[in-house]
């Protein structure tokens, strides 16, 4: 590849570079929302708050189970929505980070790989949430439009 071809490719990519972070933030939120919808509404094959709460209490020792199920669902669904919009981005990312920190403790004993119920998946999403927490909403966010800088 010649220098001019390489330069042209870099110029083309640099035009879209500003979309990289919003894509990451939006994808993270969109990936969280269905998990919250499962817990809160029973959508996407979920069981809703009562059954999820029973699972949390019996299998994870989290009492009262329904409270923890609802809190997890709220963070996943509405925190995910906030990340998608870039609205109250840092508080939402902090809540997601805390939730995923708890999730990591649940999966820690199963090793690394997600196929064995390990920490791989929640660790990846926790690191994404931490990255968003550090960055904030960014240029393409409701936070920026509203002049929110926290």
In a domain, 137, yes or no: yes
pLDDT at residue 134 greater than cutoff 90: yes
In a domain, 118, yes or no: yes
**Total number of domains in the chain:** 1
Q: What is the pTM of this model?
A: 0.90
Residues 56, 99 contacting (CB under 8 angstroms):
no
In a domain, 6, yes or no: no
- Please state, in angstroms and rounded to a whole number, the distance separating the CA atoms of residues 98 and 71: 11
Which range marks the domain in which residue 115 is found?
Answer: 18-144
In a domain, 140, yes or no: yes
**Binning pLDDT at 50, 70 and 90, where does residue 4 land?**
low
In 3D, which of 17, 31, 106, 94 has the Cα closest to residue 68?
A: 106
């Amino acid at each position: 590849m010649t220098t001019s071809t390489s330069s042209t490719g870099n110029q083309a990519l640099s035009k879209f570079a500003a979309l990289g972070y919003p894509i990451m933030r939006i994808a993270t939120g969109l990936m969280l929302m269905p998990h919250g919808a499962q817990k809160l509404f029973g959508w996407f094959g979920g069981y809703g708050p009562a059954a999820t709460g029973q699972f949390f209490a019996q299998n994870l020792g989290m009492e009262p189970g329904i409270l923890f199920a609802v809190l997890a669902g709220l963070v996943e669904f509405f925190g995910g929505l906030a990340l998608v919009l870039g609205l109250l981005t840092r508080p939402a990312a902090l809540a997601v980070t805390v939730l995923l920190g708890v999730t990591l403790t649940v999966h820690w004993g199963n090793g690394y790989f997600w196929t064995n119920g390990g920490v791989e998946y929640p660790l990846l999403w926790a690191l994404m949430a931490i990255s968003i927490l550090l960055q904030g909403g960014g240029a393409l966010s409701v936070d920026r439009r509203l002049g929110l800088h926290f």
